[in-house]
Structure 1
Amino acid sequence: MARGGINKAIVQKARNALLARGIHPSIDAVRIELGNTGSKTTIHRYLKELESVEQAISSDVLSTTLTGLIEQLLDQLKQEAQQSVAQAHKTLLRERAAVHQQSAVLEARMRDLESQCSGLTLQLQAAQELTLQEQQQRQAVEVDNARMVQSLQDLQVRVRERDERIQSLEDMHQHARDGMEHYRQASKEQREQEQRRHETQTSQLQVEIRQLQQTLMIKQDELTQLNRDNARLVTEARQHQKDQHALEQLLALRDQALESAQSTLTDMEHTNDTLERQCQALRGEVAQFDEACTAQTQQVQNLQERLAEITDQLKLLAKVSPPENELAP
């Protein structure tokens, strides 16, 4: 029971006075406002009843306004959600288009690299064929050099035989001249004729020697040309064999021909070494292009995996996000 004449109306009056002064109507403040009279329990009960009544009144007045505000907020949230979803969808579409474009570029680049690899493979095969041809030509040159050496040896034998015949003739001539010395006066004219004939033959032989020297110089030029163009080596070697009868008087130049042939063989060996190095370099380039192709393939796979992830995310987003007609207010 309330004591000291305190009732709900008195407590309400004290509470309103505190609120008018801007003071919070706590139990102690109300009790002080009442002159420190009344039970705190009673004052607390009256305050709770007054607050309940005010809350009921406020809820009835504010329910309509709050409902409108909440509906407006819900509409605004729906619009913002729709805009966010649409923006995210556009962003994903742009990313997917960019990924498709990059994938197309990488595929084109990979096709170009495959084409380059095919071209390098063809070049390597051509270089190998060229190396094989060079080896075959080298073997042919070695065979021709062996034939030339054999021909020179045969010429040496024939020259020695001719020298022996000349020496024998000179010995016979000396013996005949010694035996016919006492006929010298009688046969002077005949000897002069023989001498002129011998000089004529000697002149003819000198002319033939000069012709053979010129022929040898021509053949040396042809041999040099053979070193530059191996394709004509067989033809010029055959021509050289046809002209071997003219080399019988050219024993002094056999060493030069042999040295020229050896120089040809050395040049071809250097050429072969150069081609082998080029082949090795081409193999290295092919290996590098293979590595580049592997890296590009890996990158394409990574992009495809990324594209698959983005596609899955789009599908998941399409499943999670409601249709636009449902989100519209």
Structure 2
Amino acid sequence: MARGGINKALVQKARRALLARGEHPSIDAVRVELGNTGSKTTIHRYLKELEEADVGSIEREKSLSEQLTIQVAQLAERMQEEAHAAVAQEREQLALERTEYLLQLQQSEIRIKQLEGEAEGLTTQLQEVRLAYQQDHQQLQQALIECARLHQANQDLGVRLADRESQILSLEEKHQHVRDALEHYRLASKEQREQEQRRHEAQVQQLQVETRQLQQVLVIKQDELTQLNRDNERFVTEARQMRKDLTTNQTGLERQANELASLAQQLALSESGKAVLQARANDLQAEVTRLVDTVAAQTRQAEALQASLTAMAAQFSHMHHPAQAETTTQVVDDGTAEQIAPSP
């Protein structure tokens, strides 16, 4: 069935109009005459049916040269249509491939942008990790300095403690001397008790006061010694805590160094993926260039074939031109034709 309202009668009418104007009723000419409507397949089928229906009259009306010319023209037209169809198919294929290439190129650009964004994020993370590492390193240096200061303070406290112990020993020696002196005084006073009883008692009281004072001094010194021992224990505890903090900071620094190495490896992988996508884009561009050159070559081949067919048709027409003068065709009013022999 004809599409777009085209039927055999319309095709026949268009064909007769073209023949009346002296034009060849090709498929494209008939389609133009019909207002660029109808499929070429349907028009070709109707033209073939009309040619088969009029084959008897065509054989009587036309000479061998005209038949050959028409056949050559039809052959040229069919070859031209086939060439156009092939070129159109190639162009359509090229358009599809180009669309696919543009889509792949767009996806590649999007992926490249994503990789660049990831690379920037990794660079930012790397900078943050480096900054944190520097801060932790500074804290570690400060902790080492504080630890050294505490160690020096501990040594100073040890020296002070040794001084306190020597002072206590000196006080104990003095106390012992006082006791010895007191014993010596008691022996001496025992001999002079009657004569120097009052003076002895006064001296005893005075010595007792001095003894109490010395005992108080000894208690104070013992309290200071106890306080120094407590301070020493506190400093030792703080030094242990500082060592623990130092160990924790070193562990954190090692973990951050491992994370930094992992981020650097991810950045290298992103750079290699970007290079692969760029190489793929270059290959696709080269393929598009090759397809364009192929289509141009096929177009030039089709034009050369058309020129060759035209030359062949002209050659056939020139070879059979003398035979056209032997017979003439007379058209009568009813549309039939009869041959008239030339006069002797």
- Shorter-normalised TM-score: what interval? 0.5 to 0.7
What is the match of residue 185 of structure 2?
Answer: 176
Instruction: Check conservation: 2:147, 2:239, Cα contact below 8 A.
Output: yes
Which of 229, 239, 245 is the equivalent residue of 1:265? 239
Give structure 2 stretches of 5+ with no counterpart.
1-62, 303-344
Q: Would you say 1:286 and 2:260 are equivalent positions?
A: yes
Structure 2 counterpart of 1:312, from 279, 286, 290: 286
Cα gap change, 1:76/1:308 in structure 2, threshold over 3 Å: closer, same or farther?
closer
Name the counterpart of 1:234: none
More displaced 10-residue stretch of structure 1: 249-258 or 129-138: 249-258
1:66-124 Cα offsets, whole Å, 9 max, x none, are: 66665555544444433332222222111111111111111121122122222222322
Structure 2 residue aligned with 1:110, among 103, 111, 119?
Answer: 119
Q: What aligned pairs does 1:180-199 form with structure 2 within 5 A after superposition?
A: 180=189, 182=193, 186=198, 190=202, 194=206
Distance 1:188 1:320 in 2: 140
Structure 1 Cα separation of the partners of residues 169 and 208 of structure 2 = 26
Kept after mapping to 2: 8 A contact 1:159/1:249: no
Q: Deviations over 1:269-298 (max 9, x none)?
A: 222222222222122111111111111111
* TM-score normalised to structure 1 length: 0.57
Shift of 1:302: 0.9
Q: Which amino acid aligns with 1:288?
A: S
Q: Aligned with 1:292: secondary structure?
A: helix
State how many pairs are aligned: 233
**Which residue of structure 1 aligns with residue 140 of structure 2?**
131
TM-score, structure 2 normalization:
0.55
Note the C-alpha offset of 1:191: 7.0
Q: Equivalents in 1 of 2:277, 2:91: separation in Å?
A: 30
- Cα RMSD of the aligned pairs, angstroms, is 4.0
Q: Deviations over 1:206-243 (max 9, x none)?
A: 9x84xxxxxxxxxxxxxxxxxxxxxxxxxxxxxxxxxx
Change (3 A) 1:76 1:310: closer
Which residue identity is paired with 2:120? Answer: R
5+ long unaligned stretches in structure 1: 1-55, 210-246
Find the residue that maps to 2:155 and give its secondary structure.
helix
- 1:1-329 mapped onto 2 (5 Å cutoff): 60=67, 63=71, 72-180=81-189, 182=193, 186=198, 190=202, 194=206, 201=213, 209=220, 249-322=223-296
Distance across 2 between alignment mates of 1:152 and 1:203: 20
Q: C-alpha separation between the residues in 1 aligned to 2:288 and 2:75? A: 38
| Identical residues among aligned pairs (%) | 15
Given that 1:158 and 1:248 are in contact with CA atoms closer than 8 Å, whether structure 2 keeps it comes out as no
Flag the 1:268–1:154 CA change in 2: closer, same or farther, 3 A. Answer: same
Distance in 2 separating the partners of 1:249 and 1:85: 102
